[in-house]
Amino acid sequence: MAKLKTRHEKHVYVVGDINLTSTSTPYAPLQKMYFKSAKVTLGNAPAGSGNTVVRIIRNNDTNDILYTATIGAGVSSVNLNTEATLNAGDKMSLNVSSLASGSGGSDLIFKLEYHN
């Protein structure tokens, strides 16, 4: 008989305007997390030219990227359909590496769907 896997969600929020940041307060899971997908939603889309780039990184290492969302002007949500794994004891945090020229957007929700 097949084992059923319950899917859970983990959310990372930015309330207000999105600003450049090297890392947010890290989250460290107690057991391994198998991410199945992610969705980034903004209350207000970026404006101007260029993109706002938001990443979920591991262990405060901007080169160890679990997910990258590139959000163009006028776009308020992005779906990411790749899989990633975060080991118990690793730290996961949000990194904003670039902003659209007029406004980076605001009120971000980075929703990660996972199972253990």
One-letter amino acid of 10: K
Say how far apart CA 84 and CA 72 lie, in whole Å: 24
Per-residue confidence (pLDDT) for residue 33, from 0 to 100: 94
The reported pTM is: 0.90
Residue 50 Rama label (left phi>0; alpha psi -120 to 50; beta): left
Dmax (CA) of the chain: 55
Per-residue confidence (pLDDT) for residue 7, from 0 to 100: 79
Per-residue confidence (pLDDT) for residue 5, from 0 to 100: 65
- Splitting the chain (116 residues) into consecutive groups of 10 residues, what average pLDDT does each group show? 73 93 87 96 97 96 96 97 95 95 96 92
Domains of the chain as residue ranges with CATH: 15-115 (2.60.120)
Say how far apart CA 98 and CA 65 lie, in whole Å: 15
* Tokens read off for 69: 């969302």
Per-residue confidence (pLDDT) for residue 6, from 0 to 100: 74
